[in-house]
């Protein structure tokens, strides 16, 4: 199943599968996620919510896809398990932690 993040003019990001499952809305420096009546629900840190505020480091589950919510400027350190999983995907190449002062470019968004 492919997921495509899409940023809209309203400062929200929608993750779309074949149907839209949920959206993250930015409001004055805070973020919230809203489930759009998906079949499997939207889980944040293992708990199902119709909508809830997001904090840096929260784990969002949409079906079998897990995302870590890391807003701009949030200093998140990868866990050993995350480093291992990323290294495995990269064919065993080591994973370098990005320091907060480093420039992080916005990812390119693939249209739906």
The class of domain 4-72 in CATH terms is mainly beta
Give me the chain's average pLDDT, please. 76
Nearest to 25 by CA among 40, 10, 37, 36: 10
Q: Which residues contact 89 (CB under 8 A, 6 or more apart)?
A: none
Which H or E element spans position 53? strand 51-54
If you ran DSSP here, which 8-state letter would residue 19 be given? S
Look at residue 31 and tell me whether its pLDDT is greater than 90: yes
Model pTM? 0.64
Look at residue 107 and tell me whether its pLDDT is greater than 80: no
Q: Which residues contact 12 (CB under 8 A, 6 or more apart)?
A: 23, 24, 25, 26
Domain limits, the chain: 4-72
């Amino acid at each position: 199943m492919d997921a495509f993040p899409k940023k809209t003019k309203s400062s929200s990001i929608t993750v779309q599968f074949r149907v839209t499952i949920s959206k993250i809305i930015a409001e004055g420096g805070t973020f919230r996620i809203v489930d759009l009546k998906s079949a499997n629900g939207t889980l944040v840190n293992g708990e199902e919510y119709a909508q809830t505020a997001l904090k840096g480091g929260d784990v969002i589950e949409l079906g079998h896809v897990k995302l870590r919510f890391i807003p701009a400027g949030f200093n998140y350190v990868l866990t050993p398990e995350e480093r291992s999983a990323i290294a495995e995907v990269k064919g065993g190449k080591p994973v370098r932690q990005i320091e907060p002062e480093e420039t992080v470019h916005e990812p390119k968004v693939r249209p739906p």
